[in-house]
């Protein structure tokens, strides 16, 4: 059974708005978004389409992130954007802020561009970049979804501090990450990430899973208030949604 409501376990101060109810997107909306990833070329394969359809229908990530960003017009930088699924989810939610996605995987960025162009996605750009080498200049909101574990501890801290400094008054920093702990969920998350690398879906290998205390300390030191919410849905993973905004 899918949990209806997941209460935040801890927070430093409430960050508005609430981060979703732990359910994935409904089937019809998932299908509409995933259609953008149908192969445009007759020889293309359907892997991206089935992957995105499965992810949208099973993962509570997108409702959580959409709820966290709703109400802000700040431009969004999506770090480690993959195929750019968030851009499609935002537009389907009526959120029209400028979107810029960056990812180390040049092949994914090429597919993200092609799908965005094929569906006429407005005001969305995609670039190849390695976050370990630094971040593109930006002012506004920042999304970091399922990416932190691919960076070293030092690179994570630097990324989070730099991203925090980018936030404008109405902007939000939205992070989804598995947290490093010895729970069964923690172990399942680590094994699945490793398998994704071994089968070639993820070019990168996981390096370091952040802890809740470490994340909170870094974000609060950067002047942000934070809310941590478990985002398990009906998945076996130790996923959390962290929403941060400027304090005061
Ligand atoms: C699990 S996927 C998440 C994709 C997307 N954020 C989403 O939620 O659908 C992780 C992404 O992080 C990217 N990534 C890993 N290490 C990176 C790095 N050093 N710089 C930029 N992107 C990176 C991978 O290429 C991959 O697309």
Of residues 49, 24, 202, the one with CA closest to residue 115: 49
More confident residue, 87 or 20: 87
How many Å lie between the centroid of ligand 1 and the Cα of residue 143? 11
What is the Cα–Cα distance from 10 to 33, expressed in whole angstroms?
A: 33
pLDDT at 137: 96
> Could you tell me if the CB of 131 is within 6 A of ligand 1?
yes
pLDDT at 79: 98
Best residue for ligand 1 mutational test, from 142, 158, 197, 204 (most atoms within 8 Å of Cβ)? 204
> Could you tell me if the CB of 148 is within 6 A of ligand 1?
no
* pTM, 2 dp: 0.90
* Per-residue model confidence as pLDDT tens digits over 202-227: 878 899 999 999 999 999 999 999 99
More confident residue, 140 or 204: 140
Best residue for ligand 1 mutational test, from 103, 107, 124 (most atoms within 8 Å of Cβ)? 103
How many Å lie between the centroid of ligand 1 and the Cα of residue 77? 13
Does 66 score more than 70 pLDDT?
yes
> Could you tell me the pLDDT band of residue 42, with boundaries at 50, 70 and 90?
low
How many Å lie between the centroid of ligand 1 and the Cα of residue 78? 10
Which ligand 1 atom is the nearest neighbour of the CA of 193? 1
SS (H, E, C) 44-61: CCCHHHHHHHHHHHHCCH
How many Å lie between the centroid of ligand 1 and the Cα of residue 248? 31
Does 248 score more than 80 pLDDT?
no
> Could you tell me the pLDDT band of residue 2, with boundaries at 50, 70 and 90?
very low
> Could you tell me if the CB of 48 is within 6 A of ligand 1?
no
Q: What is the CA radius of gyration of the chain?
A: 17
Does 133 score more than 70 pLDDT?
yes
> Could you tell me if the CB of 87 is within 6 A of ligand 1?
no
Mean pLDDT of the chain: 88
pLDDT at 9: 42
- Compute the C-alpha angle 4/48/45, nearest 5°: 145
Instruction: Tell me which residue has tokens 């094929």.
Output: 118
* Per-residue model confidence as pLDDT tens digits over 97-113: 999 999 999 999 999 99
Does 84 score more than 60 pLDDT?
yes
For the chain, which domains are there? 10-246 (3.40.50.150)
> Could you tell me if the CB of 103 is within 6 A of ligand 1?
yes
How many Å lie between the centroid of ligand 1 and the Cα of residue 204? 8
> Could you tell me if the CB of 206 is within 6 A of ligand 1?
no
Instruction: State whether residue 178 is helix, strand or coil.
Output: strand
> Could you tell me the pLDDT band of residue 233, with boundaries at 50, 70 and 90?
confident
pLDDT at 89: 97
How many Å lie between the centroid of ligand 1 and the Cα of residue 79? 7
Instruction: Tell me which residue has tokens 């950067």.
Output: 222
Q: 156-173 b/e with 16+ CB inside 10 Å = b?
A: bbbbbebbbebbbeebbb
Instruction: Tell me which residue has tokens 């851009």.
Output: 87
pLDDT at 200: 83
Q: Classify residue 228 by its DSSP letter.
A: E
Which ligand 1 atom is the nearest neighbour of the CA of 143? 6
Is residue 33 packed enough to be buried (19+ CB in 10 Å), middle (13-18) or exposed (0-12)?
A: buried
> Could you tell me if the CB of 146 is within 6 A of ligand 1?
yes
* Per-residue model confidence as pLDDT tens digits over 155-171: 999 999 999 999 999 99
């Amino acid at each position: 059974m899918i949990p209806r409501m997941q209460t935040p376990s801890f927070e430093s101060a409430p960050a508005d708005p609430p981060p979703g109810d732990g359910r994935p997107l409904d089937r019809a909306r998932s299908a509409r978004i995933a259609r953008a990833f149908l192969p445009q070329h007759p020889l293309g394969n359907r892997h991206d389409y089935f992957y995105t359809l499965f992810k949208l229908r099973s993962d509570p990530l997108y409702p959580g992130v959409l709820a966290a960003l709703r109400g802000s017009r700040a431009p969004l930088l999506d770090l480690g954007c993959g195929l750019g699924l968030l851009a499609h989810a935002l537009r389907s939610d009526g959120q029209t802020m400028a979107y810029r996605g960056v990812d180390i995987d040049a092949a994914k960025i090429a597919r993200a561009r092609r799908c965005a162009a094929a569906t006429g996605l407005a005001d969305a750009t995609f670039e190849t970049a390695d976050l370990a080498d630094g971040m593109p200049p930006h002012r506004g909101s920042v999304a970091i979804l399922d990416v932190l574990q691919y960076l070293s501890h030092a690179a994570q801290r630097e990324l989070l501090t730099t991203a925090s400094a980018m936030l404008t008054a109405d902007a939000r920093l939205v992070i989804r990450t598995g947290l490093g702990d010895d729970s069964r969920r923690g172990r399942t998350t680590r094994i699945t990430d490793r398998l994704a690398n071994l089968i070639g879906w993820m070019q990168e290998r996981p390096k370091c899973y952040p802890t809740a205390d470490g994340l909170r300390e870094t974000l609060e030191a950067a002047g942000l208030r934070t809310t941590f919410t478990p985002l398990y849905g009906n998945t076996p993973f130790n996923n959390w949604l962290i929403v941060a905004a400027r304090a005061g």
